[in-house]
Amino acid sequence: MGFPYPSDPRETVLLSKYFGDAGARSYTGWTERGGYEGVKTALGMAPEAVVEEMKASGLRGRGGAGFPTGLKWSLMPKKADKPHYLVCNADESEPGTFKDREIMRWTPHALIEGCLIAAHAIRAERIYIYIRGEYTEPLAIMERAVAEAYANGAAGENVFGSGTRIDVTLHRGAGAYICGEETAMLNSLEGKRGNPRIKPPYPAQAGVFGLPTTINNVETLAAVPHIMVRGAAWYKSLSLSNPKSTGTKLISVCGHVARPGNYEVTMGTPMRELIYDMCGGMRPGRTLKAVIPGGSSVPIMNAEEADRCLLDYEGVVAAGSMLGSAGMIVMDDSTDMVRAIWRLAKFYAHESCAQCTQCREGTAWTTKILERILAGLGKESDLQLLLDLSENMTGKTICVLSDSCAAPIVSGIQKFRGEFDAYLAKARTPAMATA
Amino acid sequence: MPTITLNGTAVSFTPGATILDAARASGVDVPTLCWYPKLPIVGNCRICLVSVAGQNKLLPACATPAADGMVVETESDDAVAVRRSVLDFLLERYPGEHLSNGGRAHPRNEFERYVARYDVPVRPRHELPLRTGDERPGDVMIQHDMSLCILCTRCVRACEDIQEVGVLDVGLRGEYAEIIVGGDGDPDHAGCTWCGECVRVCPTGAIFEFMPNRRFGAEAVRHPDRIARSVCPYCGVGCQIDIHVKNEEVVRVTSPWIEERTPNQGSTCVKGRFGYDFPQHRDRLQAPLIRKGWVRESDRWVWAGESPRHRDGPWTTIEQGAQRRKPRPPERQVGKPPLTGVLPVLDEYDVRDRVATPDSWYSAFREATWEEAMSLAAQEYGRIKRQYGPDSIAALSSAKCTNEENYVFMRMVRGAIGTNNVDHCTRLCHSTSVAAMNRALNTAAASGSMREIEEACDVIFIAGANTTESHPVFGALIKRAVTRGARLMVADVRKTELAELADVHLQMLPGTDVALYNGMLHHIIESGLVNEAFVAGRTSHFESVREAVKPYTVERASTITGIPADLIRRGAELYARGPNTSTLWAMGLTQHAAGTDIVASLLNLMLACGMVGRWGAAMMPIRGQNNVQGASDVGAIPFAYTDYRSVDDRGVRKEFAAAWELPETALSLKPGLMVTEIVQDGSGVHALYVFGENPVLSDPNIAHAEHWVRGLEFLAVQDLFMTETARWADVVLPGSSFAEKEGTVVNTDRHIQHMSPAVAPPGKARRDLDILIEMSNRLGLKTIYADAAAVMDEIARVTPSWRGVSYAKLAREGALQYPVPTPDSAGSAFLFADEFPTPDGRGMFVPVEYLPPSELPDDDYPMVLNTGRQMYHWHTGTMTRRSTGLDSREPVPIVEIAPADAERLGVADGDSVRVTSRRASLVINARISDRQAPGQIFIPMHFREAAANLLTNPTLDPYAKIAEFKVSAVRVEAVHQIALA
């Protein structure tokens, strides 16, 4: 549902069913709404069987990469001769993305239940939920929920009398975007500087504290109980276009639409349906110019691409971008694209952890060039320089922050070249509000 | 073996190797910036990306495991393009304008070499500002020029993972990321030890040694004329060092490449890297000196001064000097810029120009020729020998000098003078260990290697050793072992750095060690943790010890030592369970009047648990000086020739008489006097020859020692400086420093290592070996050695366990871990795998009883004084107080006082206090430190102006004649409460 707007009948409300329903936040409220049945089912099954169920459901990671969840769980060692860990990535910092926030605000027990099922499946005794530092309200709600879960035997030494021990620890981030990168998050959890780690070793081999670890996104884990209760086949059937993309997806829509908010749609829903029907279309008198469909880290789509885009992993790629975290930033014809791209680059320059050369220097350098262009001081060679730098920033670093900075720059220059040229020709001389 | 195809060539690799490892092993040079051997791989510079067939991305060679059949191109177009882009990105913020023209032919560092190699154009643009970072302003050892930093983070990892200190880190992020020194820019707050590991690994010179650059200029530092491999002149770790020489001056010391197999594995501590400038100090003696009053009359020297002889001089004695109030150290300028106040003029820090020896000390002397000085010494030693007999002459050799010099020295004393009165400072150091180990195992050296502590040891038990300060390179190794997972147990009266890190810290009352180890053994026996197989198969007399420790219940041990009983139990179990426990100890055990017993009780514990003779279970007395092991090994001790063979053994005497071409009767069968016995009234010693020692500061109860020295009939001192001892001499012979001589030294784990000479001695100073050879000849002992190698050949002939040692072999192998009984022996990393070198091959238990220290606190002297070393200084300070960097760290004497005691005394940090023992008193600045237990104070021994040994107790250990340096009863008063002299 597009909370705070009422749910649209064209949505498929699964995770967002109780958004806005404060009664769902408490343990009893949640059990009254059918909660904690999935984990009881899972605890009665062998871990391998849970993993198989997940594989069959087709659930893929909702954090951005879309890696099949069941496959990820199956990569964990089968033997539990040393501790295994589940880390829930609740460090939702991607610009334009705010779906995990609402899950934690309204349905904290859904997340805890998903975590418990995942922990059972990967034989973890300890769950870390790493929550973005700025999410103070979700953190408070989660803290209360975890305490309730312990009090009701849903977490701790003996989860629902199954004999399985699973502990839940909340960890509050300290405000670094990069800690949403899974290996940086592991370093941060260990008390180290949040630098992404070089892979291999992968977290399933050596994750937090050097021990086997699985990292899942909040939305992914929140979907898990539904699969346990209603079955993989049912979940797999939620797919309108490509069978590789199943289930529902929360889309955080922001920008120049009439009703921004979180919308839960079945995989494969056309983007135009989301923008023009559910969100009420563009602001009055304005037309669509560009969409960044997957948080800020993916290529920008122009109106034509957005118009033919289907909202699932494959559909967005076919339309020239990526689904990412599905934080949709919608921009109308009043948008200065050069300025928008500069602002994105500045964000990445600010958030670069600074270990890889290309990222540390490249994000700052491209920002400076864009700044110069905006100030009306750009040179003809600057666009080529930006493209060259972006090329050198793509696919060469430990994590993809550098690629994320390059993506909007490259796609922006390709698709909105005219606006850059206009700046370069000093056809327009806007004053920069901020430098 | 699996193979990869590297640039078209098949290259095999060991499983687990990375692409980079395989490339390096096959001689393919893949550029790297962030990668450095032995540092954790972070793969952040991205310059080593290579093309791998079948991969859509380039992969970092440093972090990608090689896989069988992999096809790798290191210089593919894609890889080169990335490399150029990385260098281009880095150049954007690097002051590299000089590289745009001719400078490209002369790259100044690793990074610039890559810029030249990949021909990256340098464009004068700098859209981004030059990089910044914490700068260490005013530091005379390490400074930063962070505009050169490329953020490879090698320094961060070297600090964190090699030295285990963690001073440096990356601060901020994005374009503002920079190297920071601790949280506030103050290296002291961050725990910096100035080891210079960061300097060594920096690929651009952003972190650099300040002094060499300041004194000699960057060009001289960058392009030395030659580099001589030598051994650090300080502690017993025996770090190999490279001495850089430009224009016949030592400009800098660096450590060997990290992958070379040296005891230090390429590290040094602050003393090794920055303590090399004392030989250039202006105090350095450059000509022989003769005391005014000696005149030559027709080929005979006559004393024309006052008679009877009692030396005097226009200077204050140590005792008088101790009464003066000490200055406060200069303010340090630290922290992040902008700093408040004015930075000190750095030239003021150059102690080479600051007088450490007062001019008055020279005033009693006149400059002389070598002929004059040598003839006077030879005449007087000859006269005194004739007049009072050979045993009226004693000689002190030096643990800071080479094996060759020590051998020639003891040969001179034994062969030419005919006495066994030769000793050196091992007496004040590990003599009790030697006595106890000799008695139990008939050995006098460590059984294992430092390397095994790092690699194989499960539990490390350190007793009475402040390793991170006294042997910092070894200390860092221990910390790495702990990080690897070894358990650490420390028995120490002070809360040392390692004690803080330890799983178990047994903080006993001073001098109660025997009760502790007996109590631990009692518990081990009670709990059935004795290694019965080892005890039965490898040892004897266990029953006597079983009986002896019976009264030492854990509760009783707890009462005596003040350690909670449970902690003693935990410690005992940890030690016994091992499975491989290494036992390390140093001065905290040995410098007691019951030192031999203390070591013996520790050895009982070790033998009962069978913790010796395996890789990982080492017995290791940590030796203090760089050649204290060797000086004893080659016989500069009063009771033994080389290899600890007794002087009272006629067979041994015969052998040496033959080797030295002397009649047997020329060599005395009577064991000689030890250092601490020589200076006693009634020792019968009328003349002394001191070679590179400073007994006036290092002996217990200095006031007495100084008084005794002043009454000698004749004293010759061979040293670098006018020491506190030399100022009382009749003849002062200027010798050579570590950088000016060739020879070998033995480190704490029995590595015999070679020192190459780097420069010539200054002025008329001569190499010590040459002086000793001439002196031997003048004393009537025919002595002909072509060079140090010839001396070593003779040592090898007369020393069974060194028989295979030669300079040629040392040059081949780098270092030899003795025993090396044959020329083709590779040395021995650990000993006693099968048996001990005792007559029956068994280790002997020796029961010992606890005796309280000879001086306990009472109403008049309510506190206990402990003495020892600081990280930045060395023994009597002769060297380190004349070293710019080291002296800048600890310029004034201090006494460490526990916070509770300071509060009780009304003393703030830096205040003057008077410390008084039954022997003397001194005035000194207080340093409040929670390393001290309440009721105990600690004074480092390095400072002439407040010499700790004025206060120490000269009570001797009955076997080894070591003094009770570690326990003296004292009284402490705040100075404002008393009148100052």
A121-131 pLDDT tens trace: 999 999 999 99
A428 has pLDDT over 50:
no
Whether A353 and B57 lie within 8 Å, measured CB to CB: no
Residue A136: other Cβ atoms inside 10 A? 11
Of residues B366, B170, B161, B172, the one with CA closest to residue B258: B161
* Residues of chain B neighbouring A372 (CB-CB closer than 8 A): 127
Q: Cα distance from B152 to chain A (closest Cα, Å)?
A: 8
- For chain B, the average pLDDT equals 92
Angstroms from A208 CA to nearest CA on chain B? 16
Chain B interface mutation, best of A396, A400, A405, highest count of B Cβ atoms under 10 Å: A396
Q: Could you give the angle at which helices B77-91 and A382-393 cross, rounded to 10 degrees?
A: 120
Q: How many CA atoms within 13 Å lie on the side-chain side of A107?
A: 27
In this prediction the ipTM stands at 0.92
Q: Rounded to an integer, what distance in angstroms lies between the CA atom of residue A303 and that of residue B766?
A: 89
Please, which pLDDT band fits residue B184 given cuts at 50, 70 and 90? confident
What single-letter DSSP state applies at residue B417? I
Over residues B411-434, the mean pLDDT reads: 94
Token pair recorded at residue B234: 């300080």
Nearest to B128 among A352, A354, A364 (CB): A364
Closest by CA to B466, choosing from B435, B493, B437, B436, is B493
Query: Please, are residues B775 and B262 in contact by the beta-carbon 8 Å criterion?
Result: no
- A169 vs B307: CA distance, rounded Å: 86
The predicted model gives B16-32 an average pLDDT of 95
| Sign of the four-CA dihedral B57, B59, B65, B67 | positive
Contact B174 A363 (CB under 8 A): yes
pLDDT computed for residue B406 by the predictor: 97
Contact residues on chain A for B41, CB-CB shorter than 8 A: 198
Q: Is the pLDDT of residue B255 over 60?
A: yes
Query: Mind listing the pLDDT tens digit for each residue in A258-291?
Result: 999 999 999 999 999 999 999 999 999 999 999 9
Question: Are the CB atoms for B952 and B865 separated by under 8 Å?
Answer: yes
> How many A×B Cβ pairs under 8 Å?
92
Residue A104 in this model has a pLDDT that exceeds 90: yes
Looking at the predicted structure, is the pLDDT value of residue B312 above 90? Answer: no
- For chain B, give the percent of residues with pLDDT over 90: 82
The verdict on a CB contact (< 8 Å) between B175 and A395 is no
Chain A interface includes B60 (CB < 8 A): yes
Which whole number is the average pLDDT over A9-24? 92
Min Cα separation A158/chain B (Å): 32
Query: In A, which residues are within 8 Å of B92 by CB distance?
Result: 361, 365
* Collapsed DSSP state (helix, strand, coil) of residue B329: coil
pLDDT of A2 reads 54
Residue keyed to tokens 């290694």: B531
The per-residue pLDDT for range B191-202, each reduced to its tens digit, is: 999 999 999 999
Report the predicted TM-score, pTM, of the whole model to 2 decimal places: 0.93
pLDDT of residue A433: 43
The pLDDT value recorded for residue B981 is 45
Mean pLDDT of B155-170: 95
Bond from prior residue into B862 cis (ω within 30 degrees of 0): no
pLDDT at residue B358 tops 90: no
Question: Which residues are registered as beta bridge partners of B859?
Answer: none
Alpha-carbon gap: B104 to the closest alpha carbon of chain A (Å): 22
Whether the CB-CB separation of B624 and B236 falls below 8 Å is answered with: yes
For residue A140, the SS3 value is: helix
* Distance of alpha carbon B642 from alpha carbon B637, whole angstroms: 9
| Residue A147 to residues A27, A32, B1, B43, B649, Cα–Cα distance (Å) | 10, 18, 56, 41, 81
CB atoms within 10 A of CB B529: 18
Residue B103 DSSP class: G
CA B954/CA A134 separation, integer angstroms: 67
How many angstroms separate the CA atoms of B401 and A141, rounded? 72
d(CA A36, CA B403) in angstroms, rounded, equals 78
- For residue A47, the Cα-to-chain-centroid distance in whole angstroms is 26
User: What is the C-alpha separation between A176 and A194, in angstroms, rounded?
Assistant: 8
pLDDT score recorded for residue A432 = 47
CB nearest A361 (choices: B65, B93, B172)? B93
DSSP sequence for B173-239: -GGG-EEEETTTS-TTTTT-----HHHHH-SSSSEEEHHHHHHHHHHHHHS-SEEEEEE-SSBTT--
Q: What is the strand order of the sheet B687-691 is part of?
A: B365-367, B289-291, B731-734, B714-719, B687-691, B393-396, B422-423
Q: Find the range with the poorest average confidence among B179-193, B308-322, B336-350, B427-441.
A: B336-350
Mean pLDDT of B631-649: 95
The single residue listed with the structure tokens 């027709």 is B298
Mean pLDDT confidence for B706-718: 94
CB contact under 8 A, A352 and B47: no
Sign of the C-alpha dihedral, residues A177, A178, A179, A180?
A: positive
pLDDT bracket for residue B338 (50, 70, 90): low
Distance of CA A432 to the CA centre of its chain: 31
Residue of chain A minimizing CA distance to B83: A392
The answer, yes or no, to whether residue A1 has pLDDT greater than 60, is: no
pLDDT for the residue numbered B122 = 86
Distance CA(A236)–CA(B601), nearest Å, equals 74
Contact present, A394 and A402 (Cβ < 8 Å): yes
**According to the model, what pLDDT value does residue B123 have?**
76
β pairing state of B894-897 and B714-719: unpaired
Q: Taking residues B238-248, report their average pLDDT.
A: 95
**Cα–Cα dist A325/A314, whole Å:** 14
The confidence score (pLDDT) of residue B140 equals 86
> Tell me, what's the pLDDT at B977?
55
Identify the burial level of B718 via C-beta atoms within 10 angstroms of its C-beta, where 0-12 means exposed, 13-18 middle and 19 or more buried.
buried
- pLDDT, tens digit, for every residue of A230-244? 999 999 999 999 999
Residue to mutate among B50, B62, B89, with most A CBs inside 10 A, is B89
Which chain A residues have a beta carbon less than 8 Å from that of B93? 361
Bridge-based pairing state of the strands B714-719 and B731-734? parallel
The pLDDT of residue B828: 87
pLDDT at residue B333, rounded to an integer: 63
Q: Determine the pLDDT at residue B138.
A: 79
Collapsing DSSP to helix, strand or coil, A236 comes out as helix
What band does B350 get if pLDDT is binned at 50, 70 and 90? low
B156 near A CB under 8 A: no
How does residue B347 score in pLDDT terms, banded at 50, 70 and 90? low
**B504 pairs with which residues across the strands?**
B489
How far is CA B231 from each of CA B235, B326, B470, B754, B761, rounded to the nearest angstrom?
Answer: 10, 35, 17, 7, 17
Is B153's Cβ below 8 Å from some Cβ in A?
A: yes
Beta strands in A36-164 (DSSP E): 85-90, 126-131
Nearest chain B residue (CA) to A357: B45
User: A378-422: per-residue pLDDT in tens?
Assistant: 888 899 999 999 999 999 999 999 999 999 999 999 999 999 999
Query: B647-677 pLDDT, tens per residue?
Result: 999 999 999 999 999 999 999 999 999 999 9
pLDDT classification of B335: cutoffs 50, 70, 90 = low
Judged on CB neighbours under 10 Å (0-12, 13-18, 19+), B312 is: exposed
How do B743-746 and B751-755 pair as beta strands? Answer: antiparallel
C-alpha distances in angstroms, B628 versus B396, B401, B423, B444? Answer: 13, 9, 11, 11
Q: How far is it, in rounded angstroms, from Cα B956 to Cα A239?
A: 91
Q: Among partner residues B86, B128, B175, which is closest to A358 by beta-carbon distance?
A: B86
Kindly indicate the confidence band of residue B685, based on its pLDDT and cuts at 50, 70 and 90: very high
Cα angle vertex A226, ends A172, A72, to 5°? Answer: 60
Indicate if the pLDDT at residue A171 is higher than 60. Answer: yes
- The predicted model gives B272-276 an average pLDDT of 94
pLDDT above 70: residue B349: no
Decide: residue B528, CB within 10 A, 0-12 exposed, 13-18 middle, 19+ buried: exposed
